[in-house]
Amino acid sequence: MTPAGSDPRRRSGTTSTRARRPKLDLDPVTVRRARTLARKVGRPIVRLAEQHTTVSVERATLRMAGLVGADPEGTPWANRLLDSVRGDVGLEHGVALPVWDALVRGAAGDLGELAQKAAVGSVRFRLPEGRDATRAAAAAKKSVGAGLRRIDARRRERERLIKRHGDPSQTPWIYLIVATGDIYEDMPQAQQAAREGADVIAVIRSTGQSLLDFVPEGATREGYAGTYATQENFRLMRAALDESSKELGRYVRLTNYASGLCMPEIATLAGLERLDMMLNDSMYGILFRDINPVRTFVDQRFSRQVHARAGIIINTGEDNYLTTADAVEAAHTVTVSQLLNEYFAKEAGLADWQLGLGHAFEIDPDVPESFRLELAHALLARQLFPKAPLKWMPPTRHMTGDVFRGYLLDGFFNLAGMMTGQGILLVGMMTEAVVTPWLSDRDLALQNVRYVRSAAGGLAEDFQPAPDGLIARRAQQVLAESIDLLTRIVEHDDGLLDAIADGTFGLMRRPADKGRGLDGVVPLAPGYANPARELLEART
């Protein structure tokens, strides 16, 4: 059942978005075939994820059970405790049995104390057997279950606040990035952006955080081109936007990034601190951060199960492919990735209203009929995923520094979003690729969105492409090319892993036996136990 107010397509006092959407004459048999192929590509990856764990999955389990804090050097206790367990008994059986066996035996009073003792070598871990294993498993399940209940409570809290304050009265939701590096500067900027009309505030992460194999601790005041994702930063920004929600009479949503080497942990922290959206793409870290493919697929499945439980909307990263590959020639790779992201998300328990599948306005504006081609791609995504709150991304690759041209391009992007019924619209900046935007730049960009949404918000009701026109033909072509690509991936010996290694997506070649974080991937042994995985799997 969809929580009240959680679906961006719900509108107050207006005709439903679905009824107003323009329609392409897509053959339903062809669409079903595309999804069938996506399932065939995705199933071996799911089996691979089921057969492995990672250091971040195991640390997320400890965090879910309440382990917080860091040592004086800033290393999280979750990392210190996991490293001690791994050094004594390995991770093939998971971290839960050795840790809770130690607690049951009285080695420490709680997880924090156990981590501190383990860090100085005063506790050694064993793999319990028989009744000891049964007692350890029961204790671990109780602790982790309490953490999941906290996540459930935060989800119910969100639903109550949406009911109290209300949702934005119009779609698409306006999504704005705020990130200075200093969380205490981010908060007033985010609140001002909400006053200017932003419905979703995204706090972009500091450059390079995705490559850290730990989650920094506490409120941070320094960051390059972004602000660190930490539990305390999540808490502070959520509280600030709750104040704005009360002030403005509409619930303002908060977004961050569950990607990189700590994807499962950050997803867990997001659930505990009531974030509303998380960037969470199945292949982004592989392609653009050179993170090992197996590590990424294992981590993303766990993180999506957490997001499903927490009622968090995911945003996927297909727009990034078009920053390295041509947006016309590679359009079908975006569609293929959307279909795969949909399969992986639903397999992990996410509902349609949680699928903020990505796509972008990135065709070179000098290409003849570029706007019509953009409409074709946006309409294809909208019709393939009619119940999903698609996330429409602004032009970046062909922004030149000419702010007047950039402002016009952003206006065309906003217009395409209205014409094709997008669900989440990231605000484009005329200063893209020039400087980090000033508050005045954001104000002008928000004016652009507000004008177009007000002037053309219902245009989707009237826009119906000609059945034999360029827009319809282009959409059919991209769908056909997508099916061809999925067919070729199915025929690969190792399917998707081979396709990624061959540079199929974003022109990036990423072999399955290379990449950052590979040493944190562990095949499961018989008797592996992880109460977080078990409880999330049961709910799925």
Say which of 391, 407, 410, 441 is annotated catalytic. 391
Q: Judge if the upstream peptide bond of residue 172 is cis by omega within 30 degrees of 0.
A: yes
Asked, for residue 339, whether it belongs to a domain, the answer is yes
Question: What pLDDT shows up at residue 190?
Answer: 96
Q: What is the pLDDT of residue 7?
A: 52
pLDDT digits (tens, 9 = 90+) for 253-273: 999 999 999 999 999 999 999
User: Considering the domain boundaries, does residue 106 fall inside one?
Assistant: no
Which is catalytic among the residues 175, 228, 257, 284?
284
User: In angstroms, rounded to a whole number, what is the distance separating the alpha carbons of residues 55 and 136?
Assistant: 20
458 belongs to a structural domain: yes
Residue 173's pLDDT is: 96
pLDDT computed for residue 12 by the predictor: 33
CA angle (245, 249, 252) in 5-degree steps: 35
Q: Residue 438: what pLDDT?
A: 77
pLDDT at 2: 40
**Domain-located, residue 172:** yes
Cα end-to-end span (Å), the chain: 13
- CA atoms of 408 and 415, how far apart (whole Å): 11
Choosing from 186, 199, 276, 319, which is the catalytic residue?
Answer: 319
Dist CA 236 CA 242 (whole Å): 10
CATH number for the domain harbouring residue 422? 3.20.20.440
State the pLDDT at residue 262. Answer: 97
Between CA 382 and CA 102 the distance in angstroms is: 52
Would you state the pLDDT for residue 1? Answer: 35
Q: At what angle do helices 293-310 and 130-165 cross, to 10 degrees?
A: 60
Is residue 293 one of the residues assigned to a domain?
A: yes
Q: Is residue 430 part of a domain?
A: yes
Q: Which residues of the chain have pLDDT under 50?
A: 1-6, 8-19
Provide the domain count of the chain: 1
CA distance 483 to 117: 55
Residue 320 lies in a domain: yes
- The confidence score (pLDDT) of residue 375 equals 97
Active site residue 391: yes
Report percent pLDDT > 90 for the chain: 84
Residue 384 tokens, joined? 């393939």
40 included as an active-site residue = no
- Confirm whether 160 is domain-assigned: no
Active site residue 343: no
Residue pointed to by tokens 């897509």: 26
Structural domain range at position 259 = 17-40+168-474
The amino acid that residue 531 corresponds to is P
Give the C-alpha distances (Å, rounded to integers) separating 493 from 61, 183, 287, 404, 478: 34, 47, 20, 50, 25
